């Protein structure tokens, strides 16, 4: 996937700078990766996959100005794809769990994992520094509340309360974004 990122990012930048040929090439290179992404979710027909690919490409096209040039482009694209998948599942009435916490714990160098990490980083950026540190220590790094509290300079009880409040606030932010 690093090779895909290396090919896509310069095309994205050129596309943002007004080079329509580079933008078309960007979309053409991204299309098979999106198709594979949706196809792995085991839909009942290619029609769903094709609809999802087209929806994702359209959203990427219309939202391209929101991408920050310093960021990798593939996680940004696959974050949009993930939201399109969730929207599709909601509209079709199919219940499928798209776990957030499991993806966060397992994050590595894959495109999907990078998209999840990108989402997580943006969400955690909204939390105060001490709460962010607690979330990262306890939820992502596996520290106990006592250890995380000590690292943050607070008691275990204070760490527990702060972590609970931070998680509640983050869940509210996620809920607000979905509506």
Cα→Cα distances 60→26, 78, 124, 160, Å? 11, 9, 23, 39
For residue 93, what pLDDT band results from cuts at 50, 70 and 90?
Answer: low
pLDDT tens track for 125-135: 888 888 888 88
Domain membership of residue 6 as a residue range = 2-112
Determine, yes or no, domain membership for 117.
no
Determine, yes or no, domain membership for 120.
no
Determine, yes or no, domain membership for 45.
yes
pLDDT tens track for 104-128: 333 344 555 566 667 777 888 888 8
Are residues 95 and 139 located together in one domain of the fold?
no
Q: Which two tokens stand for residue 114?
A: 């990078």
How is residue 40 annotated by DSSP? T
What contacts 80, CB < 8 A, 6 or more positions away?
Answer: 56, 59, 60, 63
| Longest Cα–Cα distance in the chain | 58
DSSP reduced 3-state for 128: coil
Determine, yes or no, domain membership for 119.
no
Are residues 12 and 62 located together in one domain of the fold?
yes
């Amino acid at each position: 996937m690093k090779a895909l990122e290396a090919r896509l990012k310069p095309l994205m930048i050129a596309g943002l700078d007004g080079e329509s040929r580079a933008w078309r090439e960007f979309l053409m290179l991204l299309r098979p990766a999106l198709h594979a992404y949706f196809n792995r979710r085991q839909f009942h027909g290619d029609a769903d996959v094709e609809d999802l690919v087209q929806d994702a490409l359209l959203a990427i096209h219309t939202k391209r100005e929101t991408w920050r040039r310093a960021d990798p482009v593939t996680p940004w694209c696959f974050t949009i794809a993930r939201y399109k998948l969730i929207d599709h599942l909601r509209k079709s009435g199919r219940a499928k769990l798209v776990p957030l916490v499991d993806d966060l714990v397992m994050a590595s160098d894959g495109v999907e994992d990078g998209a999840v990490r990108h989402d997580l980083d943006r969400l955690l950026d909204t939390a105060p520094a001490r709460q962010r540190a607690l979330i990262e220590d306890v939820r992502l790094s596996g520290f106990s509340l006592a250890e995380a509290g000590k690292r943050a300079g607070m008691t275990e009880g204070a760490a527990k309360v702060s972590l609970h409040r931070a998680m509640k606030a983050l869940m509210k932010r996620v809920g607000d974004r979905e509506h």
